[in-house]
Amino acid sequence: MRYVFVTGGAGYIGSHACLKLKQRGLIPVTLDNLSTGWNDAVKFGPLEKLDLLDREALRNCFSRYKPIAVMHFAALSHVGESIKEPIKYWSNNVIGSLNLIKETVAANCRHFVFSSTCATYGEHDGILINEQTPQKPINSYGASKLAVENMLIDVSKAQSLNYMIFRYFNVAGADPSGQIGELHIPETHLIPSAFDVISGKTKYIEVFGNDYPTRDGTCVRDYVHVVDLIVAHLLGLEKLLAGGKSGIFNLGTGSGFTVNEVLTAVEKCLDCQLPVIQVGRRRGDCASLVCGSRLAFKELGWHLSRSSLEDMIGDAWQWHQASNYRK
Ligand code: UDP
C-alpha cells in the first residue's frame, strides 16, 4: 500500500490533495484534529483524528502506515487572529510542525511537501513577488510559516529528508465534481463571504479599506484555483519520489485583482447585486500580493487550467449551494 499522510486532510486544501492522491493511485491518510476541518470532507482515505502536538499519537500512526511521504497542510491560517493570538499560532503551527518533522525523520520517511504562504514575504507593494523576494512577514501567521520553512531547510541538510515548499497566493474555487469545497466557521475569506450574503446568511459584505495604493484603493490579490494548486503539489511529490531534489515554489497566476473587481465578478457570474459596506482596513493586510514567478511552470511543468475568476467563482458557488459538511 502506498500511503501518503495528509495533515489537515479534512480542510479545504487538504481534502483536495486527498482527492488528487486517490486519483493517482495513492492512499491519502488524513491526520486532522477536526478543529477547523470536517469529518464529511474525508472521503478518499482513512481519517486519523489526532493533534500534531501529540507526538505519541503521531509516532503510532507512522509505525502503522509507514507512509512514503507527508503532505503538511494543517495550520491555523487567519491573519487577523494571528495578530491577536500569536502564542496560539506559534504553538500550533510551529511546535506541531516540529513534532511532525521529528516523527517523519524518525520513521525514515523521506519526502515532505509543505503548504506555506505568500504571507511569509510581508509588504512588497507594487512589485511582483518571486522566490528570491526577501521574506519579512508582518503577522504571526506568516512568521510561523516562515519558521517551519527554515526548520525544514535546516533539517534536510543533516537528514535524508527532501522537501517541496509551496508558497500560496490566494486559493479559491472547488473541485468541479462538487464533492468538496471551502467551508469555514466563521467565514472570513472574500469569495465565500460574498456567497454568504447571496444565500442570505449575512446581510452585506464589508470591504476592508479603500485607501490602499492600488488602482481602485482596495487590496490586490492573486487568486489561484485549488485544483490547479493541488496539481502543482502532485508534480512536486512525483519529482521527489523519482529522486528529484528539494524545491521552493510560489504558486500564483501572475495576475492580481482588487477586492472590488472580485466582487464585481461575483455579481456578474451569479447575476446578482451584492450589498457592500466600505469599512476601515483590516489589520495585517498588505496592499498587494501578486506572484511574479514562473519557476513552478518551468521546473515542475505546472500549468493552469481553471484559474480564471469565472471558473473559480462558478466552481466555488456550485459547492457552496450543495455544501452540508458536519463534524
Ligand atoms: N476582504 C474584504 N472583505 C471580506 C473578506 C476579505 O474586503 O469580507 C479582503 C481582504 O482585506 C483582502 C482580500 O479581501 O484584501 C482577500 O482576503 P481573504 O481573507 O480572502 O484572504 P487573505 O488575503 O487574507 O489570505
3-state helix, strand, coil in the chain (%, to 5): 40, 20, 40
Average pLDDT, the chain: 96
234 φ, ψ to 5°?
Answer: -70, -40
Residue 82, C-alpha cell as written in the block: 494571528
Q: What percent of the chain has pLDDT over 90?
A: 93
With a 6 Å cutoff on the Cβ, whether 286 touches ligand 1 is: no
The DSSP H or E segment spanning 57 is helix 55-65
- Measured CA to CA, the distance from residue 252 to residue 288 in angstroms comes to 13
Q: Whose CA is nearest to atom 6 of ligand 1?
A: 190
Percent of the chain with pLDDT over 70: 100
pLDDT for 178-187, tens place per residue?
999 999 988 9
Q: Is the pLDDT of residue 327 over 80?
A: no
> DSSP 3-state assignment of 73?
coil
CA distance 47 to 55: 17
Judged against a pLDDT cut of 80, whether residue 247 lies above it is answered with: yes
Residue 324's pLDDT band, with cuts at 50, 70 and 90, is confident
pLDDT digits (tens, 9 = 90+) for 90-132: 999 999 999 999 999 999 999 999 999 999 999 887 799 999 9
pLDDT of residue 257 exceeding 90, the answer is: yes
The pLDDT tens digits of the residues spanning 161-176 come to 999 999 999 999 999 9
Annotated active-site residue 12? The verdict is no
The one catalytic residue in 141, 163, 168, 223 is 141
Do 93 and 144 form a contact (C-beta atoms < 8 A)? yes
What type of residue sits at position 94?
V
Task: Give the cell for residue 172.
Answer: 479559491
Nearest C-alpha neighbor of 222 from the set 171, 285, 179, 186: 171
Question: Per-residue pLDDT averaged across 209-232, rounded?
Answer: 97
**Burial of 201: CB neighbours in 10 Å, binned 0-12, 13-18, 19+:** exposed
The yes-or-no verdict on residue 1 having pLDDT over 90 is no
Contacts of 150 (CB under 8 A, 6+ apart): none
Question: Each residue of 276-320: pLDDT tens digit?
Answer: 999 999 988 889 999 999 999 999 999 999 999 999 999 999 999
With a 6 Å cutoff on the Cβ, whether 6 touches ligand 1 is: no
221 lines ligand 1 (CB under 6 A): yes
Question: What distance separates the 2 farthest-apart alpha carbons in the chain?
Answer: 56
Confidence of residue 153 (pLDDT cuts 50, 70, 90): very high
Return the number of other C-beta atoms located less than 10 Å from residue 58's C-beta.
25
| Ligand 1 center from residue 54 Cα (angstroms) | 32
**SS3 call for 48:** strand
- pLDDT of 123 reads 87
Distance between CA atoms of residues 174 and 140, nearest Å: 27
Predicted local confidence at residue 284, as pLDDT: 83
User: Relative to the CA of 219, which ligand 1 atom is closest?
Assistant: 15
How far is CA 66 from its chain centroid? Answer: 25
Given the CA of residue 220, which atom of ligand 1 is nearest to it? 15
CA-to-CA dists, residue 326 to 16, 34, 41, 123, 322, angstroms: 17, 10, 9, 37, 13
Cα–Cα dist 71/186, whole Å: 26
Q: Which amino acid is at 312?
A: M
Mean pLDDT, rounded, for 212-219: 96
H or E element in which residue 191 lies: helix 190-198
Strand partners, 270: none
Spatial distance between the Cα atoms of 92 and 94, rounded to a whole number of angstroms: 6
Ligand 1 atom nearest the C-alpha of 259 is 14
- Yes or no: say if 194 and 263 are a contact pair by the CB < 8 Å rule: yes
